[in-house]
A and B are shown apart, each in its own frame.
Chain A
């Protein structure tokens, strides 16, 4: 089965496609002749950018009237796929809503999913996936053996986003069939936490703190340093689980994948599940008081020292530069 047409699930926020959406469109373009996007909500306002990254058509599910996206979006996609014009593959970002759509679509179409994909290549007329397993120590490759379309759930930062300069995607409405009892979950209210500075997975500099900080209040210096470097603060799971910072800060297997120009790890041991989320960074600086900490095995610059001494001095020195 040759790969001719790929659908990309397009997510948007604040009127713009998410970076992961653009990454998936770029990958899709290199694998198939026809790339189309599927989106909902305000996605039509993104048609120009989606086109620039390679989508010729935007299948728009439109307003969801408060429903969580998983059920209506998957139902609309499944109906269109059954009606003909099915893609050979569907690329879905590994996000909150993306995973919901993937699970729903998989069960509706009775097609398996390959998840936590970090690489995708054409092989023998199909697609071969890459997965970082055992905390990134090994790479597994996999492929579908049955009938398509293949459903792929892909992690952020697996590909670089590059525009191709195409014209705006043509918007075509996608109808949602009756979803019966499964469609009952609705959003009553949305709450956004105040955040300034760049987003964690888009920042050029990430400063992360771990349990080595000792206590919750010490995280303030991580935020201050990140702010001074115009970067984003991040965290290990240990301090997320301890309630010091929200889950959105977590870097690693069950958190975000980041690939900044510089990643500064402060008081983080470097467990494999943390490393898998940050070892793709271009440069890594680690501060840890234990010279045998595994984080040093991936650091370009390792400082054996106390975060409570090194970080405040670093902050003062940067401030002194004005």
Chain B
């Protein structure tokens, strides 16, 4: 079974984020594997194993030919990667990103496409479903358990009330939530092996995409302003000397909650 995992490479979320002159996220520094995608990579490796073989291919769109995050995922055990990097892609929105990812995924001809439910930096949570629609694939989002048997996938999908058991024929796009599986740490051997695994780098032209469909022009949306949010005032602070619960009771009484 061949699995494609969409992996986003993002600015380190531990560092304070900043905006560039176009008011979009500054992505000029080193990028790392989005934690949210480590679950998809692990899931793909486990499913390929369970199916008795097959390749796990990574697909990523990132600026400046960035491969650090891809190397992390290759070190976990993915076989190869496709990276789409092109100046024409700067300022892409979710739909533009989906057009690029869909075109790259089509080349890999997978049985299953995995992505995260939402990314850590942009978190629109719409890209994978847009990819599915562009590929003509079904999609199952918010998966907390995934099993493949033969040519169908069975998913436990989170819902407001609990979860649904969903079934879909392959090929399909499935988005996984954090915590579905425990991502493995790359071994030393894995890290060494990752250095020589193939990464195919493509441009917009290689994918046959019209540059007007992607990047800032294709986004057809503009950020008009960014301002500081209204700060909330902090109030009274009490240090518990064994009676702080009484102050909370008083407070709740004032609000008529008690």
Contact = CB atoms under 8 A, between A and B. Distances in A.
B125 A99 contact: yes
A292 to B, nearest CB: 11
Contacts of A146: 220-221
Interface residues of B, number: 75
Contacts of A34: none
Given A185-B172, A283-B251, A304-B240, 12 more contacts: A68-B138, A71-B139, A113-B94, A128-B224, A142-B221, A146-B220, A184-B169, A185-B166, A193-B161, A247-B158, A300-B234, A302-B237
Contact of B229 (A71, A137, A204): A137
Contacts of A309: 240, 242
Contacts of B224: 128, 141-143
B118 A297 contact: no
B116 to A, nearest CB: 11
Interface stretch (B56-64, B77-85, B129-137, B184-192): B129-137
Given A188-B167, A301-B248, A112 B221 contact: yes
25 contacts: A13-B160, A70-B139, A71-B138, A71-B139, A99-B129, A107-B134, A108-B133, A132-B229, A137-B229, A138-B229, A140-B225, A144-B221, A145-B220, A184-B172, A193-B161, A241-B179, A247-B144, A262-B257, A283-B251, A285-B248, A291-B237, A303-B238, A303-B240, A309-B242, A314-B248
List 7 A-B pairs, minimum CB-CB distance, nearest first.
Answer: A305-B240, A103-B129, A146-B220, A107-B133, A300-B235, A185-B168, A103-B126
B226 interface: yes
A144 B222 CA distance: 6
Given A181-B138, A302-B238, A305-B244, A261 B257 contact: yes
B240 A306 contact: yes
A139 B161 contact: no
A184 B153 CA distance: 11
Contacts of B124: 113, 115-116, 153
A73 to B, nearest CB: 12
A322 to B, nearest CB: 11
* Among B133, B142, B221, residue most surrounded by chain A Cβ atoms (within 10 Å): B133
A190 B158 CA distance: 10
B209 interface: no
B72 interface: no
A103 to B, nearest CB: 3
A65 interface: no
Contact of A141 (B118, B223, B244): B223
B108 interface: no
Contact of B249 (A247, A254, A314): A314
A229 B256 CA distance: 11
Contacts of B132: 103-104, 182
Contacts of B141: 70, 96, 99-100
Interface in A146-166: 146-147, 153
Interface string A74-104: 1000000000000000000011100110111
Nearest to A105: B133
A299 B235 contact: yes
Interface string B95-113: 1001000000000000000
A302 B240 contact: no
A254 to B, nearest CB: 7
Interface in A214-264: 229, 240-241, 243, 246-248, 253-254, 261-262
A11 to B, nearest CB: 9
A254 B257 CA distance: 28
B218 to A, nearest CB: 8
B140 interface: yes
Interface string B163-175: 1111111001000
Contacts of A144: 220-221
B227 interface: yes
A192 B126 contact: no
B236 to A, nearest CB: 6
B205 interface: no
A136 interface: yes
Nearest to A188: B165
A301 B136 contact: no
Most A-side CB within 10 Å, residue of B124, B154, B236? B124
A131 B168 CA distance: 34
Contacts of B136: 180-182
